[in-house]
Amino acid sequence: MNNLNNLMTIALSSLIPLLAFLLINHPAPRFLSDLDFAFLRDHVTCRRHHHHHHHHRRHESPADEEDQAASSSICDMFPASLLPTETNTTSVFCVDRNGCCNFTTVQAAVDAVPNLSLKRNLIWINSGIYYEKVMVPRSKQNVTFEGQGYTTTAIVWNDTANSSHGTFYSASVQVFSSNFIAKNISFMNVAPIPGPGDVGAQAVAMRIGGDAAAFWSCGFFGAQDTLHDDRGRHYFKDCYIQGSIDFIFGNGRSFYESCQLISMANPVPQGSKFVNGAVTAHGRASADENSGFAFVNCSVAGTGRVWLGRAWRPFSRVVFVNTVMTDIIAPEGWNDFNDPARDQTIFYGEYNCSGAGANTGARAPFVQRLNDTQVSPFLNLSFIDADQWLHPY
């Protein structure tokens, strides 16, 4: 347990500065103000063994009895009325970090989901910060993570590309299964915030590599490469996504609706042309790939001077529709990854956007100002074949 305490102490020291930064610079989402720092304190000072079942205790010391009494008192306040009931089509797995459910970690609940299950497997996660690295394998399909609000429930880890042997593996949460759903929960990577050009400091909060995934009212917090929208068809609704460099990247075919995209790049002097961030880096590598990011009715704000996207791969495809943009957007708007050969193959478009950052007068020559016909494939959920798989909230 000493090793666990040491890990949590390290975690606390890295988490507090980032969360404090979020509060000071971006108070609107209220993430830190609504989080109870007792969650962190309890993680650091926790002495309770994390078993799934807690009714086999023996040779208890006075300290053990204290822990048991404290646990009992905490569980008296457990919101049992919020816990969904099981049905013929849904199995429920309850997670509570204080031991008031069958599982104290999210990963333990994931492991308990039957392989290739045809039922919906709802992993209900009580309020708190769950400091663990979570992976949902391909065999665990039809899984739902349901938290109690993206400002009160979070899965947190702190790997980087260096520590995990590659950006793709640094994610705090990795999902490879199909038909994954997340609701009212945040995914965070609290590794130190890198500067532009830092090597190996990429730190992913969520990697979604399965098909037919939906995220409702979720938070994604990190800096460089926050959300790895890897591959497959994905839907994001009312989500809060924060980062600095390429903070939404990958080769997914995804529809982002009414989401807040918040840059936390360092502020730049007024009048400076220095660009220190990018919202997207889409990875479409050939014209044969049906992938791309569509942002509809979203907002882009925060700090720094950023591009809406840069061409990670030669056929990168991103569209912003009916989106409000503040003046953090660089006048040219987009970047071809400093490879002019990509100008003929990338597809970057804007349609009916507003705000100080939406002025297209000085946009890069390869950016398309879409007309009604050109924008129509990106306007609604048919872009991701939602009628085939997306269920109502």
High-pLDDT (> 70) share of the chain, % = 81
Q: What is the mean pLDDT of residues 199-206?
A: 94
**Residues with catalytic function:** 246
pTM: predicted TM-score of the whole model, two decimal places: 0.84
pLDDT at position 231 is 97
Q: 40-67: per-residue pLDDT in tens? A: 333 333 322 333 333 333 344 556 666 6
Of 34-48, 93-107, 139-153, the poorest mean pLDDT is in 34-48
Contact 167, 225 (CB under 8 A): yes
Residue 176's nearest CA partner among 110, 86, 125, 101 is 110
The rounded distance, in Å, linking the Cα atoms of 99 and 223 is 32
Q: Which of the pair, 95 or 32, is modelled with greater confidence?
A: 95
pLDDT at position 195 is 73
The alpha carbon of 222 is separated from its chain's Cα centroid by a whole number of angstroms, namely 8
pLDDT at position 393 is 86
The rounded distance, in Å, linking the Cα atoms of 172 and 256 is 21
Assess if residue 292 is contained within a domain. Answer: yes
pLDDT at position 73 is 85
The rounded distance, in Å, linking the Cα atoms of 22 and 24 is 6
Contact 329, 357 (CB under 8 A): yes
pLDDT at position 31 is 37
Assess if residue 32 is contained within a domain. Answer: no
Mean confidence (pLDDT) of the chain: 86
Q: What is the mean pLDDT of residues 383-392?
A: 96
Assess if residue 25 is contained within a domain. Answer: no
Assess if residue 231 is contained within a domain. Answer: yes
Q: Which of the pair, 2 or 203, is modelled with greater confidence?
A: 203
pLDDT at position 34 is 37
The rounded distance, in Å, linking the Cα atoms of 192 and 382 is 39
pLDDT at position 150 is 97
The alpha carbon of 173 is separated from its chain's Cα centroid by a whole number of angstroms, namely 8
Q: What is the mean pLDDT of residues 218-247?
A: 97
Q: Which of the pair, 36 or 296, is modelled with greater confidence?
A: 296
pLDDT at position 197 is 73
High-pLDDT (> 90) share of the chain, % = 76
Residue 299: is its pLDDT beyond 50?
yes
User: What residues are paired with 90 via a beta bridge?
Assistant: 120
Question: What is the sign of the dihedral through the CA atoms of 100, 102, 104 and 106?
Answer: negative
Assess if residue 16 is contained within a domain. Answer: no
Cβ neighbours of residue 348 closer than 8 Å, sequence gap 6 or more = 308, 309, 311, 316, 317, 318, 319, 333, 334, 364, 366, 367, 368
Q: 329-380: per-residue pLDDT in tens? A: 999 999 999 999 999 999 999 999 999 999 999 999 999 999 999 999 999 9
The rounded distance, in Å, linking the Cα atoms of 100 and 102 is 7
Contact 250, 285 (CB under 8 A): no
Residue 68: is its pLDDT beyond 80?
no
Contact 126, 155 (CB under 8 A): no
The rounded distance, in Å, linking the Cα atoms of 320 and 193 is 27
Assess if residue 62 is contained within a domain. Answer: no
Burial class (CB in 10 A: 0-12, 13-18, 19+), 324: middle
pLDDT at position 100 is 95
The alpha carbon of 386 is separated from its chain's Cα centroid by a whole number of angstroms, namely 21
pLDDT band at 276 (very low <50, low <70, confident <90, very high): very high
pLDDT at position 271 is 81
Assess if residue 115 is contained within a domain. Answer: no
Torsion of CA 198, 199, 201, 203, to 10 degrees: 110
User: Residue 205 belongs to a domain with what CATH number?
Assistant: 2.160.20.10
Q: How many domains does the chain have?
A: 1
Q: What is the domain extent for residue 146?
A: 122-382
pLDDT at position 64 is 60
Assess if residue 361 is contained within a domain. Answer: yes
Q: 227-240: per-residue pLDDT in tens? A: 999 999 999 999 99
Distances (CA, A) of 381 to 153, 236, 319, 387: 28, 11, 14, 8
Question: What is the sign of the dihedral through the CA atoms of 113, 111, 155 and 239?
Answer: negative
